[in-house]
A = this chain, B = another copy of it.
Amino acid sequence: MTYPTLEPGGSLLIAWQLRGKRVLLVGGGEVAAGRLVLLKNADAHLTVLCAPEGLGSEMKYRVEIEQVVDEYIPSAYTHEEQLKRTDGGMYDMILTAIDDADASRAICAWCRNHRIPVNVADVPPECDFYFGSIIRRGPLQVMVSTGGKGPRLARQIRQRLENAIPVSTGAAIERVGELRGALRRIAPQPDQSAQRMRWMTDVCETWSIDELAQLDEHAIARVLRGWHDKTIPTYDEVLGSRRTWHWPHLRDYVAFALGATTALAVGAAVVHRFRR
Chain A residues within CB distance 8 Å of chain B: 1, 3-4, 6-18, 33, 37-44, 57-58, 61-62, 66, 68, 90, 114-117, 127-132, 134, 136, 139-147, 149-150, 152-154, 156-157, 160-161, 163-165, 169, 172-174, 176-177, 200-201, 204-205, 209, 212, 271, 274-275
Name the B residues within 8 Å of A114 (CB-CB): 115
When the two chains form the complex, which single residue of B10, B37, B42 contacts A41, counting CB atoms closer than 8 Å? Answer: B10
Name the B residues within 8 Å of A14 (CB-CB): 13-14, 16, 129-132, 143
Check if B1 sits within 8 Å of A156, measured CB to CB.
Answer: no
16 contacts between A and B (CB under 8 A): A6-B66, A7-B136, A9-B139, A11-B15, A11-B18, A11-B42, A12-B42, A15-B143, A115-B116, A139-B146, A142-B145, A152-B176, A153-B209, A156-B209, A160-B164, A274-B274
Most central of A42, A90, A139, A275 by chain B CB within 10 Å: A139
When the two chains form the complex, which single residue of B4, B33, B115, B149 contacts A173, counting CB atoms closer than 8 Å? Answer: B149
Q: How far is the CB of A151 from chain B (nearest CB, A)?
A: 9
Residue of B nearest to A140 (CB): B146
A205–B159 CA distance with the chains assembled, in angstroms: 12
Residue of B nearest to A144 (CB): B142
When the two chains form the complex, which single residue of B17, B90, B274 contacts A127, counting CB atoms closer than 8 Å? Answer: B17
Check if B153 sits within 8 Å of A6, measured CB to CB.
Answer: no
Check if B152 sits within 8 Å of A141, measured CB to CB.
Answer: no
A85–B12 CA distance with the chains assembled, in angstroms: 21
Q: How far is the CB of A182 from chain B (nearest CB, A)?
A: 15
A209–B150 CA distance with the chains assembled, in angstroms: 12
A42–B13 CA distance with the chains assembled, in angstroms: 9
The 6 A-B residue pairs with the shortest CB-CB distance, nearest first, are A274-B274, A11-B15, A164-B164, A13-B143, A115-B115, A12-B42
Name the B residues within 8 Å of A177 (CB-CB): 149-150
When the two chains form the complex, which single residue of B42, B117, B142, B150 contacts A143, counting CB atoms closer than 8 Å? Answer: B142
Name the B residues within 8 Å of A160 (CB-CB): 164-165
Check if B8 sits within 8 Å of A16, measured CB to CB.
Answer: no
Name the B residues within 8 Å of A41 (CB-CB): 6-10
Q: How far is the CB of A130 from chain B (nearest CB, A)?
A: 4
Name the B residues within 8 Å of A8 (CB-CB): 40-43
When the two chains form the complex, which single residue of B16, B90, B153 contacts A11, counting CB atoms closer than 8 Å? Answer: B16
Residue of B nearest to A132 (CB): B15
Check if A141 sits within 8 Å of B13, measured CB to CB.
Answer: yes
Check if B153 sits within 8 Å of A161, measured CB to CB.
Answer: no
A18–B9 CA distance with the chains assembled, in angstroms: 10
A206–B205 CA distance with the chains assembled, in angstroms: 39
